[in-house]
Amino acid sequence: MKDFGYSISKGRTLNYDNSDFSLKKTLEHDVVSYCRCIGCGACASTCSAAKFTDFSIFKCNMLFRNAKYDELEQELSKCMLCGKCTLVCPRGVNTRGMILEMRNLIEKNKNNNE
């Protein structure tokens, strides 16, 4: 591959061939504003949990899209559900609702696979 002098971090890449987007489609249906995200990072930079832990809402999004639900479950448990991220989002994304819905979907998915 051509060396452009930079590389893309693994955690920031989506492999569309290996990803499972079935839960993502449900999330988009249940929290419609999720589709409006432009990845500006305002939610992550104001996150209360990120001040005290290594929690990253961006990481959650990537884990969700890459269907890494076990790791995502651990990550989501660090969110305090304070809702600050929702207040600062310039696109009106219901980020708090998104996190809650991700938790619900992971739980349902686990129960379905048992």
Measure CA 100 to chain center: 11
Contact pick of 14, 32, 35, 38 for ligand SF4 (by CB under 6 A): 38
- For the bound state, the minimum distance from the C-beta of residue 4 to ligand SF4, rounded and expressed in Å, comes to 25
Please tell me whether residue 27 binds ligand SF4 under the rule CB under 6 A. no
**Comparison of 62 and 67: residue with beta carbon closer to ligand SF4:** 62
Closest CA to 71 of 9, 4, 11: 11
Token duo for residue 12: 């920031």
Give the interface size with ligand SF4 as a residue count (CB under 6 A).
25
Please tell me whether residue 31 binds ligand SF4 under the rule CB under 6 A. no
| Residue list 51-80, contact with ligand SF4 (CB under 6 A) | 57, 79-80
Closest CA to 67 of 7, 109, 113: 109
Identify the residue whose tokens are 């961006």.
58
Supply φ then ψ for residue 96, to 5 degrees. Answer: -65, -45
Contacts to ligand SF4 by CB under 6 A:
37-43, 47-49, 57, 79-85, 89-91, 93, 95-96, 99
